[in-house]
């Protein structure tokens, strides 16, 4: 099995506020919304921030999406969700919210009630996953994935959570994540102790990235530290990382690229500018619903 080669090491861009509740680093930087990271579009990492109590919840008010999916992984605190398709949910530490915007909806994301009432630390990852043209008009869907339902695989000096896609162990067993996806992809989280190692199979031709959220790891001979992203070429069938002396927490993303045009405008991701204009008009007319 040949290792994929490291093509780009992305540095964390400066953070910016999303609403008043999430201070995020857009980790894909200049590669966001490009074929280099397909089928993924962008990745926001909100490191831990402590918030004092607030009379009103902090977060992001009602806003639309069309043409893609959002995947939110909560690492500290909790996030409350509500959307125009009728989904209402609160996700806590280790939980994942996989929301398919598809044909379009309006949603809001706020800190959980306990954070607003008593204060607390909030940290999360939000990934945008593209939909192929054949599924951009799919009805909205919501997958609440609880931490207890995510398989955990032991590693050499650590553990791996399989959120989406499958993991094959050394004796040929396959472990599948609970998320339902429209195209072949994998979303894994790894926790490595000092010197711990991750090595995972990724098909040739797929995009692959290792995101270091905390700590540091050696990836393809390079030291990758917190909030950096190692982007691999498509040749080869494996990605690997070894944690440094402080250990590491990794997010591993891999998927079959969607070989279609990407036209993004704010909260809409389509294939043509005409489709973007239609999305703007549909939202203004209330055809994505209202909150």
**Comparing 14-89+96-147+262-284 with 150-255, is the CATH topology the same?**
yes
- The pLDDT tens digits for 30-78 are 999 999 999 999 999 999 999 999 999 999 999 999 999 999 999 999 9
pLDDT over 70, % of the chain: 99
Sheet containing strand 40-51, strands side by side: 16-18, 22-26, 40-51, 120-130, 68-76, 96-100, 141-145
- The pLDDT tens digits for 112-165 are 999 999 999 999 999 999 999 999 999 999 999 999 999 999 999 999 999 999
Collapsed DSSP state (helix, strand, coil) of residue 115: helix
In 3D, which of 160, 141, 151 has the Cα closest to residue 71? Answer: 141
What is the predicted pLDDT for the residue at 161? 98
Quote the mean pLDDT of the chain. 96
Q: Which two tokens stand for residue 119?
A: 């204060």
Q: In this model, does residue 99 exceed pLDDT 60?
A: yes
25 forms bridges with which residues in the sheet?
Answer: 45
Tokens 């992001």 correspond to 60
| pTM recorded for the entire structure | 0.96
Fold assignment, 150-255:
Jelly Rolls (2.60.120)
Residue range 198-219: average pLDDT? 96
Fold assignment, 14-89+96-147+262-284:
Jelly Rolls (2.60.120)
What is the predicted pLDDT for the residue at 171? 56
Q: State the Cα–Cα distance between residues 248 and 214, nearest whole angstrom.
A: 5
Contact, 149 vs 224, CB < 8 A? no
Q: Domains of the chain: which residue ranges?
A: 14-89+96-147+262-284, 150-255
How many helices, marked H, and strands, marked E, lie in the chain?
2, 22
Residue range 70-99: average pLDDT? 97
Residue range 217-229: average pLDDT? 94
How many CB atoms are closer than 10 A to CB 137?
Answer: 13
């Amino acid at each position: 099995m040949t290792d994929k080669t490291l093509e780009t090491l992305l540095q964390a861009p400066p953070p910016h506020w999303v609403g008043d509740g999430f201070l995020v680093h857009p980790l894909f930087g200049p590669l966001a919304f490009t074929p280099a990271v397909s089928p993924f579009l962008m990745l926001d990492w909100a490191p831990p921030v402590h918030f004092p109590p607030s009379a009103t919840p902090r977060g992001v008010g009602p806003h639309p999406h069309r043409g893609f999916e959002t995947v939110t992984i909560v690492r500290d605190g909790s996030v409350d969700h509500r959307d125009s398709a009728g989904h209402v949910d609160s996700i806590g530490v280790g939980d994942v919210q996989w929301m398919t915007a598809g044909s379009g909806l309006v949603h809001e994301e706020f800190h959980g009630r306990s954070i607003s009432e008593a204060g607390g630390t909030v940290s999360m990852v939000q990934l945008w996953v593209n939909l192929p043209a054949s599924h951009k008009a799919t009805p909205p869907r919501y997958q609440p994935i609880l931490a207890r339902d995510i398989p955990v695989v032991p590693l050499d000096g650590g553990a791996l959570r399989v959120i989406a896609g499958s993991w094959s162990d050394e004796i040929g067993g396959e472990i599948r994540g609970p998320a339902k996806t429209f195209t072949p992809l994998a979303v894994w989280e790894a926790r490595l102790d000092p010197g711990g190692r991750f090595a995972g199979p990724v098909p040739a031709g797929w995009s692959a990235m290792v995101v270091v959220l905390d700590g540091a790891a050696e990836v393809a001979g390079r030291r990758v530290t917190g909030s950096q992203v190692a982007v691999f070429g498509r040749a080869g069938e494996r990605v690997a990382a070894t944690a440094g002396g402080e250990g590491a927490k990794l997010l591993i993303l891999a998927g079959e690229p969607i070989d279609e045009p990407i036209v993004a405008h704010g909260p809409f991701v389509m294939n043509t500018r005409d489709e973007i204009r239609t999305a703007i008009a549909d939202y203004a007319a209330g055809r994505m619903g209202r909150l």
